[in-house]
Amino acid sequence: MSERANKHHSHMMKGALILSMAALVTKVLSAVYKVPFQNLTGDKGFYVYQQIYPFYGIAVALALNGLPLFISKLVAEEEADRQMRVLKEIGLWLMLGSGTLFLLFWLGADLIALLMGDPELTPVIRSVSYIYLFIPGLASIRGYFQGNLDMVPTGISQVGEQIARITVLLAAAYLFTLTDWSVYQMGTYALSSSWVAGIIGLSILILYVLKRNTENDRNAAFVFFRGERVQKRSFLRVGKRLAIEGLPLTAMSSMMVLFQLIDSFTVYNGLINAGFTEALAMNMKGIYDRGQPFVQLGLVAGLGISTSALPLLRRYSQEKKTAAWKQSAVSVLKLTLLFSGAAAVGLIAIMPWLNEALFADQSGTAVLQVFVISVLLASMISITLSILQSSTSQLLPIAALSIGLLFKLLMNQFAVRYAGVMGSSYLTVLSLLLVLLIMSTQLPIGIWHQLLKKGQWIKMPLVLAVMGVITHFGVGGLAQVLPEENRLTAFVLALAGVLVGGVVFLLGLTQFNLLSEQEWHYMPFSKIYERIQKKK
């Protein structure tokens, strides 16, 4: 490889690391802030926020994940002097689409709230609608920088947005405890954090634009509306690619948010139809929504290690090394299955104490234990998507997701009516399983044979089951010894469960030789494995 190619590769890997670290920080922050928010506002306040949160989540997927990645691809395909033309074309499409969504949510807020079964949500929906006005600027600038392998602006703006949003949101929750605001007034102020974050993120990106302009004259033309004319044929071609490539990419990156959006329209309505009072239905929906931060944290844990193997997978695919690609795909799937499985089983095992430690009581523990199975399924879907993107059509994953969402939409209110919020938990798990099964049909059969060879199809679930049983009953036994139950005691018990589960899981991996030496090296604690191997 030439020196220039080495520098290019090094710059690309550094950029990927920056984006990964920024994504990790924002995901952890996004999961953690919901705990103090719920503690300050109660389950009713959490219900109001979570009902409308999917609209913000979709905007984030558009402005941060799917669209910047798509735009970066468009930019990278063009010569430097033609990049601004493409950026202007995609920017016009985004202005048209985002403006339409803003008007839809602002003007249609009454109807949307009515469809959710709670007309008082109208001002909260209007409050979050303004974030859509910032999507063209956020996505275009991020996409331009990423297309030129400069990931720092995206990473810094991403973290800045999240910090600003959480600050405003928690301030609104705290003021709620000091004033006579209703939960809907609080929700309106809390969701205004979305467009405040948009202002902060866009300001950071514009500062980077100005900085790059002074550093490099080639970027001095970074202006969306230069005098260049948009060519109709090129403009329509970019729009077609946006519909075929960009929007499906965004949909897959916001999968859990889309399932949550369906819950916003069906869970509360289903509870009301089942005969629950409005107050009780709000509380039950708020308790059900406690599962969201658990799943977010579980996904970070489940995907953290397996994604370290993805660059190797992509390289083998580009170099047409089929055998090595299959082996790498097997490793990625195995790591995801084991570690996301461990995250899900671990959460199930310690949920009674974790629920009380974070949310002050154990309400809905059984519902949450079912819901966190989503960690395993969503992680497997994400990794399977990455594998398929390097080898097969882009259309299958979006078709699979559409079928899963349709199944959830058609069945969820019926399930809630007859089984309460537990019915919605089961439907989410079943819908994700359906998506995963459809996507898995396109994986080469040899991958499954290799993944499940030598009795691993028995060993892997056995290790997870043993870990879950020992953790749950071990912590339960410890709970009998400790003093009176309170949140601090519950936190200590949950932490003890994490430590016990982690030790049992690692021992199971080594005793059953579930991972190869190469797979151990993907993990940050590979040196522990080397010491264990030397002692054998």
Q: What is the DSSP string of 249-290?
A: HHHHHTHHHHHHHHHHHHHHHHHHHTT--HHHHHHHHHHHTT
DSSP 230: P
**Between residues 89 and 128, the one the model is more confident about:** 128
Say whether 23 sits in a helix, a strand or coil: helix
The DSSP secondary-structure symbol of 96 reads H
pLDDT tens track for 287-345: 999 998 888 888 776 665 555 555 666 667 667 777 777 777 787 888 888 888 999 99
- The pLDDT of residue 404: 95
Mean model confidence pLDDT for the chain: 82
φ, ψ for residue 58, nearest 5 deg: -65, -40
Looking at residue 227, what is its pLDDT?
Answer: 46
More confident residue, 534 or 136: 136
Residue 226 DSSP one-character state: -
201 in Cβ contact with 137 (< 8 Å):
no
pLDDT category of residue 221 using cuts at 50, 70 and 90: very low
- Give me the helix-helix angle, 395-440 and 374-389, nearest 10°: 120
- For the stretch 409-450, pLDDT in tens is 999 999 999 999 999 999 999 999 999 999 888 887 777 777
* Cα angle 374-379-384, degrees, rounded to a multiple of 5: 130
Q: How many CB atoms lie within 10 A of CB 483?
A: 7
CB 65 within 8 A of CB 254: yes
Angle at 290 between CA 286 and CA 293, to 5 degrees: 140
Coil, helix or strand for 321?
coil
Residue 353's H or E segment, with its range, is: helix 322-359
Euclidean distance between CA atoms 437 and 337, whole angstroms: 14
Q: Which two tokens stand for residue 324?
A: 């090595």
- Mean pLDDT across the stretch 201-213? 85
Taking every pair of C-alpha atoms in the chain, what is the biggest distance, in angstroms? 76
* Cα–Cα distance, 144 to 73 (Å, whole number): 9
CA atoms within 13 A on the CB side of 95: 9
User: What is residue 504's predicted lDDT score, i.e. its pLDDT?
Assistant: 92
Query: What gap in Å lies between CA 381 and CA 435, rounded to an integer?
Result: 7
Instruction: Give 200 or 79, the one with higher predicted confidence.
Output: 200
pLDDT of residue 524: 56
- Structure token digits, residue 169: 């949101």
pLDDT cut 90: percent of the chain above it: 39
User: Which long-range CB contacts under 8 A does 113-122 form with residues at least 24 apart?
Assistant: 115/265, 116/51, 116/264, 116/265, 116/268, 116/269, 117/268, 117/269, 117/272, 118/51, 118/268, 118/278, 120/184, 121/48, 121/51, 121/52, 121/184, 121/187
Q: 372, 338, 295: which is closest to 461 by C-alpha?
A: 338
State residue 304's pLDDT score.
59
pLDDT of residue 133: 93
Higher pLDDT, 242 or 81: 242
The residue type of 521 is H
User: What's the pLDDT score for residue 369?
Assistant: 94
In sequence order, which residues have a C-beta less than 8 Å from that of residue 243 and are 6 or more positions away?
Answer: none
Residues 6+ apart with CB under 8 A from 327: 450
CA 268, chain centre distance (Å): 23
The mean pLDDT value for 452-462 works out to 79
Whether 57 and 257 have beta carbons less than 8 Å apart is answered as yes
Q: Which of 197, 206, 212, 207 is nearest to 158 (CA)?
A: 197
Size of the chain in residues: 536
CA distance 62 to 283: 31
Contact yes or no for 451/328 (Cβ under 8 A): no
pLDDT in tens, 94-116: 899 999 999 999 999 999 999 99
Would residue 159 be called left, alpha or beta, if left means φ above 0 and alpha means ψ between -120 and 50 degrees?
alpha
Region class of 24: left (phi > 0), else alpha (psi between -120 and 50), else beta: alpha
The C-alpha R_g of the chain, in whole angstroms, comes to 24
3-state secondary structure string, 36-89? HHHHHHHHHHHHHHHHHHHHHHHHHHHHHHHHHHHHHHHHHCCCHHHHHHHHHH
Asked whether the predicted pLDDT for residue 244 surpasses 90, the reply is no
Cα(43)–Cα(289) distance, integer angstroms: 9
Using CA atoms, how far apart are residues 172 and 152, in angstroms rounded to an integer?
Answer: 30
Window from 109-123, 172-186, 269-283, 378-392 with minimum mean pLDDT: 378-392
Tokens of 183: 């939960």
